[in-house]
Amino acid sequence: MATKADKSRLAPRFKPLSPAQETALTLYLAGQSDTDVAQAVGVTRQTCWEWRRQHLVFMAELERRRAEVWRQPQERLRSLLSKAVENLGQAVESGDLKASIELLKAVGMYGDGTMNAIFEQDPEVIVRQQAEAELKREAISENAYADQLMDLSRNPAYRQRLAEVEAEIRIRYLNA
């Protein structure tokens, strides 16, 4: 017999999906629109939208079934990965310019240039950036009353905490 504590650890039980919702899932997986699904199952388009966007059990089941549908093709593609790398390598080695450019794109060295971006080089600026990021995670506002009064004065608590965090960061680097 389950105790009260055991029952509290059990997963919550949700009302099962209706036959209309089950049919809707199948139709969505087949690529049907809200309008098409609504007509097929006899509900409004708004109801279908709410099932997809707000009905927790429906949303979870739709994602579970989508994952099932996608799993097999993904595994097939993964099984071909080593062959694709081998083919691409051969094409690049033979001088194929298009293959070379595609390889550069795949590893992030072609196009936006972020792979070769040069970032901050001044350690003090990096310390400030890291400290400011920490204060943002701590939700300490730089401006004391900016949200309420549009007052752009610096928050003294922010300045004090920023100095503390910067000191902590410097100590970590000095002791490293």
Q: What is the pLDDT of residues 114-155, one digit of tens each?
A: 655 667 777 888 888 899 999 888 887 777 555 544 444 567
Query: In this structure, are 68 and 28 located in the same domain?
Result: yes
Query: In this structure, are 20 and 71 located in the same domain?
Result: yes
Query: In this structure, are 111 and 60 located in the same domain?
Result: no
Residue type, 153: S
Q: Both tokens of residue 86?
A: 């081998």
Q: Both tokens of residue 57?
A: 């059990």
Query: In this structure, are 162 and 131 located in the same domain?
Result: yes
Residue type, 8: S
Q: Is residue 6 part of a domain?
A: no
Res 58: pLDDT: 93
Lowest-confidence segment of 36-40, 67-71, 78-82, 172-176 by average pLDDT? 172-176
Q: Is residue 40 part of a domain?
A: yes
8 A C-beta contact, residue 58 and residue 51: yes
Q: What totals of helices (H) and strands (E) does the chain contain, helices first? A: 10, 2
How many whole angstroms separate alpha carbon 38 and alpha carbon 54? Answer: 16
CA-to-CA dists, residue 142 to 40, 124, 145, 156, angstroms: 55, 19, 9, 8
Tell me the average pLDDT of the chain: 83
How many whole angstroms separate alpha carbon 16 and alpha carbon 34? Answer: 21
Q: Whole domain around residue 105: which residue ranges?
A: 80-116
Query: In this structure, are 88 and 139 located in the same domain?
Result: no
In the predicted model, is pLDDT for residue 12 greater than 80?
no
In the predicted model, is pLDDT for residue 1 greater than 70?
no
The count of domains in the chain is 3
What average pLDDT does the segment 101-113 reach?
78
DSSP strands (E only) in 7-158: 143-145, 151-154
8 A C-beta contact, residue 20 and residue 38: no
Q: Which residue has the higher pLDDT, 25 or 102?
A: 25
Query: In this structure, are 62 and 92 located in the same domain?
Result: no
Res 25: pLDDT: 96
8 A C-beta contact, residue 17 and residue 61: yes
